[in-house]
Amino acid sequence: MLSKQKLRIAAFSTAVIAFAAMSGSALAQKKYDTGATDTEIKIGNIMPYSGPASAYGVIGKTEEAYFKKINAEGGINGRKINFITYDDAYSPPKAVEQVRKLVESDEVLLVFNSLGTPSNSAIQKYLNSKKVPQLFVATGATKWNDPKNFPWTMGWQPSYQSEARIYAKYLMKEKPNAKIAIMYQNDDFGKDYLKGLKDGLGAKASMIIAEESYETSEPTIDNHIVKLKATGADVFLNIATPKFAAQAIKKLAEIEWKPMHIVTNVSASVGGVIKPAGFENAQGILSAAYAKDGADSQWDNDPGMKKLFAFLEKYYPDANKLDGAVVFGYGVAQTMVKVLEMCGDNLTRENVMKQAASLRDFTPDTLLPGVKINTSATDFAPIEQLQMMRFKGEKWELFGDIISGELSN
């Protein structure tokens, strides 16, 4: 039998140990890497504010405004976001210069939503070797989902190949004997889609009877459309960026060619593409979406979109609500904020990646109902679901199920 003295000591020591153990986890030690402090989180970003892709600079401006709003509302766990964004004019050497500035001179915690496949390819090796997160890159190239070789790089939007596979699935089901004509932009964007489509069709890739590439330096793609019509195809795949997609829609109507017309998500914006091309010319066009369209009246009373519009009115009144880039910027910025919130006080780069890879059914305000963000240690593709839609009247009508374009890697 222990003496009372010894019992008291034992009890006391147990209490001390228990208390220490509890406080160890309760206090959750603050851990920081360069770029994070008690009061601030520095986020780096590279966007093409000038040059051929300057239309996408709006994304950076939207994100800047969104982080301003978060700061005004108290920041993330009490820390303000310092959003540092630089212009790379869509040139890879410039992107390398800017990312080195962000990492070595501005000392950011992570690089977020940098835009463009060439620029991101240029900085991927550097960021991975420096172990700086390259989060939610703004491009749909499939190669960002490679956690084994590039554990610090993660995409966000559905990859081009997964979207193309969805179209392939649809075509094989609805029009198994189709004759497909494809017009695609001769760069990583267009070629990725083409690959996805061919892979998706598999043995039936022979359905493709014509492929026409075009360069962004061409003033108009009208002659490509003329050439494709002459092939007698009954399905037309419009793999183009907004300006050229609109030209194609218009030309198809002008020459009275009415195939099944599929346009990529990148160019499905009602305000940015369909309206200028002419609503009457776009009837029956198919596409797929993962987010809501700001110009589409069916979302006017949607709570998520209402929050977006309220945000724009207060923090970015000049924004063009009809621009898909604005909706995109908002959604991805929300995802970033969520990840940082999940990090709590452990703001190391490693933990940022860990939290980014632990998103479960997260839904920013702007995604379609049913589309959810999910990531894991082997799945670095946050959004993989899309829903197909058909243009009718003055808006898109969603139909069918939410399809997962998951590539089986």
What residues line the site for another protein (CB under 8 A)?
49-52, 54-55, 57-58, 85-87, 89-93, 96-97, 100-101, 103-105, 117-118, 121-122, 124-126, 143, 186-188, 191, 212-220, 222-224, 226-227, 230, 242-243, 246-247, 250, 254-256, 271-273, 275-278, 320, 322-323
Is 91 or 366 the residue whose CB approaches another protein more closely? 91
- Please spell the DSSP secondary structure of 249-318, one letter per residue: HHHHHHTT---EEEE-GGG--IIIIIHHH-GGG-TT-EEEESB--TT-GGGTT-HHHHHHHHHHHHH-TT
Q: Which is nearer to another protein, 69 or 100 (CB)?
A: 100
Which residues make beta-bridge pairs with 135?
112
CA nearest 305: which of 322, 287, 285? 322
Q: How far is the CB of 96 from another protein (least distance, A)?
A: 5
State the Cα–Cα distance between residues 390 and 30, nearest whole angstrom: 50
Closest to another protein by CB, 287 or 346: 287
Q: Say if CB 111 and CB 134 are below 8 A apart.
A: yes
Give the 3-state secondary structure of residue 47. strand
Q: How far is the CB of 256 from another protein (least distance, A)?
A: 6
Whichever of 321 and 395 has its CB closer to another protein, that residue is 321
Instruction: Residue 113: name the closest of 175, 70, 158, 155 by CA.
Output: 155
Minimal distance, residue 340 CB to another protein, in Å: 24
Residue 156 CB, nearest distance to another protein (Å)? 20
Q: CB-wise, 296 or 339, nearer to another protein?
A: 296
- In the bound state with another protein, the residue whose beta carbon lies nearer, of 41 and 295, is 295
β-sheet bridge partners, residue 32? 347
For another protein, which is the closer residue by CB, 54 or 77?
A: 54
Nearer to another protein, 42 or 143 (CB): 143
Q: How many CB atoms lie within 10 A of CB 6?
A: 10
Minimal distance, residue 324 CB to another protein, in Å = 9
Q: Give me 185's structure tokens.
A: 């932009």
Tokens standing for 315?
A: 């923090």
Task: Supply 355's token pair.
Answer: 């939290």
Least gap, CB of 122 to another protein (angstroms):
4
* 184 vs 362, beta carbon nearer another protein: 184
CB of 170 to another protein, least distance (A): 26
Work out how close the CB of 8 gets to another protein at its nearest, in angstroms, rounded to a whole number: 60
CA distances to 12, 57, 203, 279 from 270, rounded to whole Å, are 70, 19, 35, 9
- What lies within 8 Å, CB to CB, of 296 at 6+ separation is 270, 395, 396
Contact 331, 366 (CB under 8 A): yes
**Alpha carbon 11 to its chain's center:** 56
In three-state secondary structure terms, 403 is: strand
Residue 355: CB minimum distance to another protein, A: 28
